Amino acid sequence: MERTVDGNKEEFGPASDVSVEPNRWYDIRIELKGRDIKCYLDGKLITEATDTAGPPPAAVYAAASRVDASGQVILKVVNASASPQRLSVDLLGALSVEKHAVVEVLAGEPEDVNTVAEPRKIYPRAADIEDAGTSFLHEFPVYSVSVFRFVVK
């Protein structure tokens, strides 16, 4: 395995004696649990390691962008923890924000999968936010991705 820390690449964990054939499809699965990493090839565990470099993974990640043509701000928040996170959303630089906003939330347990018997076990759900502003409180569900769309001035 290889990681990049402060722009420097370094290998970590045990090497695996695996070769890949050209023009052949493989099923690749990588499982992450905190700092523990397991790599599978065609269902077989080929290597595992714990990444101890850098700070521990954060519980919450966020990114925002602005669509100048529509005046919309799109905020994406990931809660990677097993606890709901009640956080203040602050849209710094926005003079005003319409009170009504829309958020789409994809949430579920890490092992959740959709099946034929249960095709909608995990899927995005839309919700209205009626108290949006330049600053407001919002609770982010466990293991979730939330995408907000705000109209700002």
pLDDT digits (tens, 9 = 90+) for 75-129: 999 999 999 999 999 998 888 999 999 999 999 998 899 999 999 999 999 999 9
CATH code where residue 136 lies:
2.60.40.1180
Give the model's pLDDT for residue 136: 94
| 11's tokens | 């290998």
Q: How many folded domains does the chain comprise?
A: 2
CA distance 37 to 47: 8
* Residue 40 and residue 90 in one domain: no
Residues 75 and 134: beta-carbon distance below 8 Å? no
**What secondary structure letter does DSSP report for 152?**
B
Residue 57 has pLDDT above 90, yes or no: no
Give the model's pLDDT for residue 55: 78
**What's the mean pLDDT in 47-65?**
89
Give the model's pLDDT for residue 65: 94
* Residue 33 and residue 97 in one domain: no
* Residue 44 and residue 70 in one domain: no
Give the model's pLDDT for residue 93: 85
Nearby residues of 116 by Cβ (< 8 Å), 6 or more positions away? none
* Residue 72 and residue 127 in one domain: yes
Give the model's pLDDT for residue 49: 95
User: Is residue 55 included in any domain, yes or no?
Assistant: no
Q: Taken in order 65, 79, 149, 136, is the CA torsion positive or negative? A: negative
* Residue 18 and residue 70 in one domain: no
* Residue 122 and residue 66 in one domain: yes
* Residue 12 and residue 86 in one domain: no
Which amino acid type is present at position 75? L
* Residue 42 and residue 94 in one domain: no
Give the model's pLDDT for residue 125: 96
Give the model's pLDDT for residue 107: 95
User: Is residue 68 included in any domain, yes or no?
Assistant: yes
Domain span including residue 46: 2-50
User: Is residue 99 included in any domain, yes or no?
Assistant: yes
Q: What are 7-51's pLDDT values in tens digits?
A: 889 899 998 889 999 999 999 999 988 889 999 999 999 999 999
* Residue 97 and residue 142 in one domain: yes
* Residue 86 and residue 139 in one domain: yes
Nearest to 40 by CA among 50, 28, 25, 24: 28
Nearby residues of 48 by Cβ (< 8 Å), 6 or more positions away? 13, 36, 37, 38, 39
